[in-house]
Amino acid sequence: MKHILIALLLAPLSALHAADASSQKPNIIVIMADDLSHRNLGCYGAVNFETPHLDKLAAGGMRFDHCYSMPLCTPSRVALMTGQHNGRNFSRASTLEADQRTFGDVSKDAGYTTCVVGKWKLTGKSKESTPERFGFDEHCVTEGLRNDSPRYKNPDILRNGKVEKHMGGEYGPDIVCDHAVDFIERRKDKPFLLYYPMVLVHAPLSPVPSSPGYEAADQRTDEKANYPDMVRRMDANVGRIIAKLDALGLRERTLVLFTGDNGSKNGVEMKLKDGTVYPGGKGKTSDTGVHVPLIVNQPGRVPAGVSDALVGFTDFLPTIAEITGVKLTTDIACDGQSFLAHCRGNKDATGREWIYQWFANNPQVDEVVEVVFDREFRLYGDGRFFHWSADLHETMPFETAQLVGPAKAAHTKLLTALQSSRAGFQRPLSE
C-alpha cells in the first residue's frame, strides 16, 4: 500500500488526470422519440421533414437499418427498460409493475448517477410505479402521476416527486429538455445515465413555440399542419443535448443512443428520396408500426457507418449492462442480446437471427398477437407467413404447404424460434 501511495505522489498530475479520464466508464444517454418511424429522418431517406441534428449524429456514428420496437407506447417502454419481451411482464397499458428491474437499476449498480426526463406514463393505477422506484435518482416528467395530464402547452410536470402546474405558456418538451441539460452540467464529473423518452412527436399535433399559432393554441389543438414543426423541434432538442456535451468536452466520454418507441401516427406520410411514400402505422405489427430509427454515436469509439444487425427493444438493457460492466444475474430472465460490438463496428460480431414479439392491445390482455421475424420474413402465431421485405403491408400470405427455397428455410427457422420463445412463461398465446 505504501508503494502505491508513493507512486501516486510522484506521478505527474497531468498523467493522473489522463489515466482517470481513460479509465472512467462512459456516460450513457438513451433518447427515444415518441411515435417516430425511421422514415421520419433525413438520414433514413425522408425529404419532407427537417432533422439536421439527427442526420449529423448518424453521419458521425453508426446507423442501424433494422431496429424494431413494439407497435405501441407502453409495450415498447416496458421491453426497452427491462430487457424482457411483453409475454413475461406486460400487465396493462400505461403501467410498469413496481417489481420490475430496469436499466436504471443496472446503471445504479455500476455506480452511475441516473436521471429520466420526458414522458413517463408508466404509473398506471399504482402510486408505487414512479421513476425513483426503477433506479432513477432524478426525474422531470410529464404524465408522471396522471396519464391524461397536459404534455405540451401549460403542462403538468412531476419533478423529483413534486407536481408543477405551468400556466404561463410554457412548453412541456422544452421544460424537460432544460432539466436534461442541467443534469448533464451538474453531473459532468462522474459517470451518468440519462434516459430521455421524449414527449414529441405524439398527438395532439399542436404548434411549437416557434410556430405562428402557438400563442393562440390550447391543449386541444390537433392539426396535421403542425407535424413538421414538431419533428423539427424534436430534432432541435436532441441538438441541445449534443451541444451541451460539446460545450463540456464530454462527447468522447458519452455514448448516445437515439431511437423511437413505435411507428409514426396513422395519417402521417413520409416522402422518400426515390419518390415513394411510407405511411405511418402506429399500432400495427407490420413494418410501418415497428420499424424505428437507431443511431449510436460516440466519437473515437463508434465508427461512422451503417449496420444491418437485427436489434430489438429487449436488447437495450443487456447493451447498457455491458457498457457499465454489470454482469446480469440468471435469476431474472433477459430476452435481449447486447449489440455493443455492432456499435463499435466489429464486422465479426454475432447477432440475433430473429425477434419474437408478444403483443396484447386490449384492456383484458387476452387478445394476443405473437410474431417472430427476421430481415425478410414474418411468421405470426396464428400461422400467417409473409415475405414482408417485399410485401410491406402484408397483403400476400404464403400458402405454407407449398413453400420452397429460401421461404421454406425461413419458415422452418422462424417456427422453431416461435416455439422456443413460448417456453418459460404462462400467458395467452395466439390462436
Q: Would you say residue 331 lies in a domain?
A: yes
Tell me whether residue 263 is in a domain: yes
The verdict on 345 and 362 lying in the same domain is: no
The CATH number of whichever domain residue 220 belongs to comes to: 3.40.720.10
The pLDDT assigned to 418 comes to: 97
Of 352, 379, 413, at which residue does a domain stop?
352
pLDDT of residue 108: 96
Is residue 5 domain-resident?
no
- How far apart, in Å, are the Cα atoms of 79 and each of 12, 22, 194? 47, 32, 18
What does the pLDDT read at residue 92?
87
Q: Which amino acid does the sequence have at 176? A: V
For 267-381, strand residue ranges (E) read: 269-271, 277-279, 291-297, 305-312, 355-360, 368-373, 378-380
- Ranges of residues in the chain with a pLDDT under 70 are 1-23, 126, 144-148, 362-364, 431
Give the pLDDT of residue 147: 62
- For residues 347 and 384, state if they share a domain: no
pLDDT at 221: 85
Does residue 176 form part of some domain?
yes
Chain position carrying cell 508503494: 3
157 & 267 share domain: yes
Residue among 143, 106, 1, 157 nearest 319 (CA): 106
Same domain, 152 and 167: yes
Asked whether residue 219 falls in the same domain as residue 366, the answer is no
pLDDT value of residue 21: 42
406 and 288: one domain? no
Number of domain units in the chain: 2
| Model pLDDT, residue 14 | 37
pLDDT tens digit string along 98-152?
999 999 999 999 999 999 999 998 987 767 788 999 999 999 999 766 666 789 9
Is there a single domain that holds both residue 339 and residue 399?
Answer: no
Cβ pair 356, 372 in contact under 8 A: yes
Task: Answer yes or no: is 11 within a domain.
Answer: no
d(CA 181, CA 184): 5
**Alpha helix segments (H runs only) across 154-285:** 172-186, 227-247
Q: Is the pTM of this model over 0.85?
A: yes
Helix (H, G, I), strand (E, B) or coil at 2: helix
> Within a domain: residue 40?
yes
Is 426 among the domain residues?
no
Do 311 and 368 belong together in one domain?
no
Looking at the structure, tell me whether residues 212 and 109 fall in a common domain: yes
Predicted confidence (pLDDT) per residue in 338-361, tens digit: 999 999 999 889 999 999 999 997
Structural domain range at position 407: 358-421
Q: What is the pLDDT of residue 287?
A: 98
Query: Does residue 427 belong to any structural domain of this protein?
Result: no
Residues 326 and 231 in one domain: yes
Residue matched to cell numbers 434516459: 195
Q: What is the pLDDT of residue 146?
A: 66
Domain-ending residue, one of 331, 352, 373: 352
Sheet holding 368-373, edge to edge: 355-360, 368-373, 378-380, 385-386
For 171, residues 6+ apart whose C-beta sits below 8 A from its C-beta are 152, 153, 155, 208, 209
Q: How confident is the model at residue 218, as a pLDDT?
A: 82
Is residue 391 domain-shared with residue 339, that is, in the same domain? Answer: no
Q: Which of 320, 352, 384 is the last residue of a domain?
A: 352
Q: 386 with 294, same domain?
A: no
